[in-house]
């Protein structure tokens, strides 16, 4: 039986690397950004239905000194060139051991994006490729859709409330079924 996300969703928040674009670890070069197949079309379906679009992304390369905030910004602009306009970017520049509240799986990025969109977190759905994306959504009170990649662990797939084969299917589930 297929599960669908509530129709009360008014904002979709996406993980960046591995979800909207191919994962290039610590990418500082916008020329290396490649959208995953169907990303633009999937997000355009949501835009046509009036949903707000945001991105929630951990970028620990900043804390590690591997890239700068300006590098992240350039890559983010390239992502928008490929997938269309993003209303809110929520970026965590901290490392895994920094203890911040924004780094996924903590809810800070999701809560910040929802607040900046003027949407209660429970009216948001987070789409990501690993368990920390799903955990951040749950911790914030948002819905979650997992789109597995080779980096996704089997236990993350098992624990996800909704699993989709690709972004097209994730959007179909967000919108409540086939359209």
> Which residues have a catalytic role annotated?
15, 17
Which burial class, exposed, middle or buried, applies to 23 when counting CB atoms under 10 A from its CB (0-12, 13-18, 19+)?
Answer: middle
Alpha-carbon Rg of the chain, whole angstroms?
15
Q: How many CA atoms lie within 13 A of 15 on its CB side?
A: 29
Is-contact 135 141, C-beta < 8 A? no
Is-contact 37 166, C-beta < 8 A? yes
At 17, give phi and psi (nearest 5°).
Answer: -80, 125
């Amino acid at each position: 039986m297929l599960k669908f996300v509530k129709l009360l969703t008014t904002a979709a928040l996406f993980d960046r690397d591995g979800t909207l674009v191919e994962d290039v670890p610590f990418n500082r070069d916008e020329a290396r950004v490649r959208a995953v197949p169907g990303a633009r079309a999937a997000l355009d379906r949501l835009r046509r239905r009036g949903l707000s679009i945001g991105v929630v992304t951990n970028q620990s390369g900043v804390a590690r000194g591997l890239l700068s905030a300006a590098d992240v910004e350039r890559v983010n602009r390239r992502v928008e060139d490929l997938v269309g306009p993003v209303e809110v970017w929520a970026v965590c520049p901290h490392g895994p051991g920094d203890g911040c509240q924004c780094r996924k799986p903590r809810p800070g990025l999701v809560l910040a994006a929802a607040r900046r969109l003027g949407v209660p977190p429970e009216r948001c759905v987070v789409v990501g490729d690993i368990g920390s994306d799903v955990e951040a959504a749950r911790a914030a009170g948002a819905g979650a859709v997992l789109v597995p990649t080779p980096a996704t662990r089997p236990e993350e797939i098992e624990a996800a409330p909704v699993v989709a084969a690709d972004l097209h299917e994730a959007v179909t589930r967000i919108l409540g079924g086939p359209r």
